[in-house]
Amino acid sequence: MNTYSQWDLAGLLDKFGTLREIQRGIFNQTGQTVSIKTIHGWRSRNSIPVTFALVLVNLAIKRGLIKNIDALDRAHNEYRKALRRRASEKRVLWSDL
């Protein structure tokens, strides 16, 4: 059974840019060095340890990359995409009648 994170953490890492920029941001906030290989593993697994996730979310909010942590919520983002898709459709759907 696979379980997927509720949060789009790989998307958060993508907003920062390169792995080197993520590494530099973490070091500037915490003074701890994290290897590029470790950050790449976070991105591929969509999983970040809690201590670093909080640092990255805080940094993303400060930089204006996201408004708040709800911007990373997968379910909320899928719902918003569905609403936009529905609004852009020109044909009438039976469910709309």
Give tens-digit pLDDT for 16-41.
889 999 999 999 999 999 999 999 99
What's the domain count of the chain? 1
- Kindly state whether residue 68 falls inside one of the protein's structural domains: yes
Asked if residue 36 lies in contact with residue 19, where contact means CB atoms within 8 angstroms, the answer is yes
Our separate counts of H helices and E strands in the chain read 5, 0
What are the pLDDT digits (tens) for 59-71?
A: 999 989 888 887 7
Beta-carbon-side half-sphere exposure of residue 37 (alpha carbons within 13 Å): 0
Domain span at 72 = 9-91
Smallest CA-to-CA distance from 17 within 60, 62, 73 is with 60
Query: Does some domain include residue 15?
Result: yes
In a domain, 67, yes or no: yes
1 occurs within a structural domain = no
Residue 82 lies in a domain: yes
- The pTM score is 0.66
Torsion of CA 42, 52, 34, 63, to 10 degrees: 100
